[in-house]
Amino acid sequence: MGRRMHDPYDTLGVSRSANADEIKKAYRALARKLHPDRNPDDAAAEDRFKDVSHAYEVLNDEKKRKLYDEFGDVGLKEGFDPEQYRQYQRYQGGRGGSGGFGGNAGAGQGGFGFNLEDLFGGADIGDMMGGGGRRRRGPQKGADVTATLRLEFLEALRGGERELTFSGGRALKVRFPKGARDGDKLRLRGQGNQSPNGGPAGDLMLTLQVGTHPILRREGDDLHMDVAVSLAEAYRGAKIRVPTLLGEVSLSVPAGSQPGTKLRLRAKGVERGGKRGDLYVHIQPQLPPPGNEDTEKALDELEEQYADDLRAHIEL
């Protein structure tokens, strides 16, 4: 019998009322701390990392989280039928709470015409409920495996293929789509654990973890980038060259551009699902290095061009 799953809220250290952002923040912090790359040959850290990954898989999925909140571990089993389980609970309550999953609840027992194994799609009730149950007949599906696939920022935007190597030397090529986002999930059917009795193999569930970029920022399918210009280019206007995912383009900087002026390049952002977002260029005028006498004189002359007090409008 497998190890019983730890409470996912306790595992991530969040409250039962935690929202999606709080759950993701807790998961990322623990995953970074416990990742096998940071803890080589540390079996305890590896086990904790697996627990944390599984806890996040449950709480990050709205359907799974609701099932766990209502039914606990048993609600996450393959083929679980929540309505029939509720019926069984009502039936047990009508019998004075005398538990036990060793038999079938038939139509002649409280009026509920269902088989207990139907609650779990024919799964092994004895294993799920802590032993003592009648074991399922027929082959079982192997257990699903969860893992994290880390991608570089540009790698995720462009899509591609990775080769994963598992313990035992098994290799598997995984394709991920263009525009993959942090937290996206990939299901690889039949690539999980083997069945213990001749059934189909489980699935491999990959959660994508996308890194950051020193220049680009992503908001949905739009990209944002700060671009430096000289004071003269910002004041007079200029044509500048800007790199994009589709190659370098020429961009017109309007005369009088202030720091933070935002210019839009249509359809130069993230491609995802056959559509492409935009690229926003944020203009950032740069001062020349200090200490140059000619620059000091030019700034003195420039200072005379300001007709008003720049901070006159500031009031508290």
Q: State whether 272 and 202 are in the same domain.
A: no
- Stretch (H or E) spanning 71: helix 62-71
- Stretch (H or E) spanning 137: none
Of all residues in the chain, what percent carry a pLDDT higher than 70?
A: 82
- Flag whether 309 is in a domain: no
The predicted model gives 257-265 an average pLDDT of 96
Encoded tokens for 301: 């002359």
Q: How confident is the model at residue 313 (pLDDT cuts 50, 70, 90)?
A: confident
| Strand runs labelled E in the chain | 145-151, 160-165, 171-176, 185-188, 204-210, 216-219, 222-230, 238-242, 249-253, 262-265, 271-272, 275-276, 279-286
185-198 confidence digits (pLDDT tens): 999 999 988 888 88
- Flag whether 2 is in a domain: no
Q: State whether 24 and 40 are in the same domain.
A: yes
Q: State whether 38 and 108 are in the same domain.
A: yes
Q: Is 149 helix (H, G, I), strand (E, B) or coil?
A: strand
- Flag whether 314 is in a domain: no
Q: State whether 123 and 164 are in the same domain.
A: no
What is the value of pTM for the model shown? 0.55
Q: How confident is the model at residue 284 (pLDDT cuts 50, 70, 90)?
A: very high
- Flag whether 308 is in a domain: no
The predicted model gives 254-278 an average pLDDT of 96
The predicted model gives 270-296 an average pLDDT of 94
Q: State whether 12 and 120 are in the same domain.
A: yes
Q: State whether 203 and 229 are in the same domain.
A: no
Q: What is the pLDDT of residue 237?
A: 97
Domain count, the chain: 3
Indicate which CATH number applies to the domain containing 190: 2.60.260.20
Of all residues in the chain, what percent carry a pLDDT higher than 90?
A: 52
Mean pLDDT, all residues of the chain = 83
- Flag whether 92 is in a domain: yes
Q: What is the pLDDT of residue 40?
A: 81
221 closest CA partner among 269, 185, 266, 177:
269
Q: What is the pLDDT of residue 72?
A: 85
Range of the domain at 84: 8-128
- Cβ(223)–Cβ(270) under 8 Å? yes
Q: Look at residues 181, 210, 239 and tell me which one is the last residue of a structural domain.
A: 210
